[in-house]
Structure 1
């Protein structure tokens, strides 16, 4: 994935270290994403999930643990800075994502990305590295432990790389879009059921689709920090989507595939909806709540 040297990178919507949460009030419920909520997902698979009434928010906890420090505010002004300091890639991803959705969603409200290490306080409770990236609707924030995300990708057998990282960040911002448009509330109104056509799975597939839509459009934007996406990048995006499928995760854990317990969708479903978004470039195709043809 190539970055556009002269494109402006905006650090306004990204925080390096420091406390998170509480910006908009209310706890909300943390939403797992591309890798977000992986450990929670495994716990729900092992202990029966919704059938036992386990609430991911309870697993998150409500403590006020302080995050460990990560590099503070690197000097990131243009896409060229990514070559000099790879940490600037996170600001480049966020700038490109915010740039697209702010022009696409009427009444768009910016999200925030919090980079942390260890633990972090959020409006949804205390988050930890082991959860992987996640989105908290209570404070409109995507939380990412940058080092641990790479570890998780490796453990799940994904190729990784900048394109895979960008897909995961874009997926979490997809949850932000679902939150702003009200479809996240629609998913919750369907209850805490699991399975290939559950509200939880539909929400995750919608975020995958939105990530694909963003990729398709950002490379057409002359002001985007993301200049181009190669075939290898596309392969890595699809591979990351495969790696975070519920069936793949269940197989990785040495267990049998149990579709009734799915909360994120199978590898095939996730790859399908990323492709739908990318091939169309139209967020209107991401209405996963009006169809039962989800690709399972």
Structure 2
């Protein structure tokens, strides 16, 4: 993955809150539909904290209509204490040499892609990195929940140590420059679902055909959509942001999608696979839907509710 050194970065939607109170230390290994290893609270994790969505109203657990939010995003949290972690991220050259600035460039690329894809329906998400724990409009969260999107404040929350400690260290997932962009692309996909009201379609929460799994697989498909067009996205001056994505980058995204399949995680954590508790989909289905977005380039092709078995 290579960034255009002439591109200008916009840090206005990315911040870092540093270390929160408590919740520090090593991350527990997530168990889909079960408990966090190490005695954490009940969690359904990996790339989206489903219980956080339910708590915030991002998923309608009853029989009512959708709860997607198309209004302007809440910027109040952006005014809170910021460590200025990203203040030196100015250009694509910075993104090429600094992982923090690469994160900014990826956010800028997602912003440009989805603003073009949705037009007047688009409102940007913001992204906040943290260490240990963080306060959100969906409640307090620790590093153990992994990267997640909160629909109540339309913020993607990310403890960057997740990739080395959990994805690679505990789940045996891949390393590489494009693993984190895939995850951020998936989380931004949840923001798009929030804008379009898709979260309101969720009625069933577990099982390979559940609405929760369909929601997750669609976010993987949306990540694939962005990946397909990433090298065409531009900064505010019309400069291309990402100058090159290689086949190796795509393989990293596919390997990461497979690593966070419910079946892979369950096999790692409990030694057996229980499909009825799935919340995110199998490794095979996560890869397949990422490929669907990447190969089709069509928002309509990402309708995971249109098939019997997603």
Q: What TM-score do you get using the length of structure 2 for normalisation?
A: 0.78
In structure 2, the residue matched to 1:115 is 129
Alignment-derived partner of residue 56 in structure 1: 51
- The verdict on how the C-alpha distance between 1:74 and 1:111 changes in structure 2, with shifts beyond 3 A counting, is same
Q: How does 1:27-176 map to 2 (within 5 A)?
A: 39=30, 41=32, 43=34, 56-57=51-52, 72-106=85-119, 107-154=121-168, 155-176=170-191
Aligned to 1:201: 213
Residue aligned with 2:175, SS: coil
How many correspondences in the alignment? 266
Shift of 1:172: 0.1
- Are the counterparts in 2 of residues 245 and 270 from structure 1 also a CA contact under 8 Å? yes
Q: 1:173 to 1:216 in 2, by over 3 A?
A: same
User: 1:134-182: per-residue Cα shift (whole Å, max 9, x none)?
Assistant: 0000000000001233311112111122211000000000000000001
CA–CA distance in structure 2, aligned partners of residues 103 and 179 of structure 1: 17
Does 2:7 align with 1:7? Answer: yes
Change (3 A) 1:139 1:224: farther
CA distance in structure 2 between the aligned counterparts of 1:14 and 1:49, rounded to whole angstroms: 26
Question: What is aligned with 1:249?
Answer: 265
Structure-2 change in CA distance of 1:11 and 1:198 (3 Å): same
CA RMSD of aligned residues (A): 3.0
Query: In the alignment, which residue of structure 1 is the partner of 2:73?
Result: none
Cα pair 2:53 2:151 within 8 Å, conserved: no
CA distance in 2, matches of 1:286, 1:58: 21
**Distance in 2, Cα, partners of 1:56 & 1:105:** 27
Task: Indicate the residue corresponding to 2:233 in structure 1.
Answer: 221
What is the aligned partner in structure 2 of residue 261 from structure 1? 277
Quote the Cα distance in structure 1 between the aligned partners of 2:171 and 2:285: 17
What is the distance in 2 between the residues matched to 1:211 and 1:168? 8
1:195-223 CA-to-partner distances (Å, cap 9, x unmatched) read 01101000000000000000001113354
Find the residue that maps to 1:87 and give its secondary structure. Answer: helix
Instruction: Specify whether residues 246 and 263 from structure 1 end up closer, same or farther in structure 2 by C-alpha distance, changes over 3 A only.
Output: same
- CA distance in 1 between counterparts of 2:264 and 2:81 reads 31
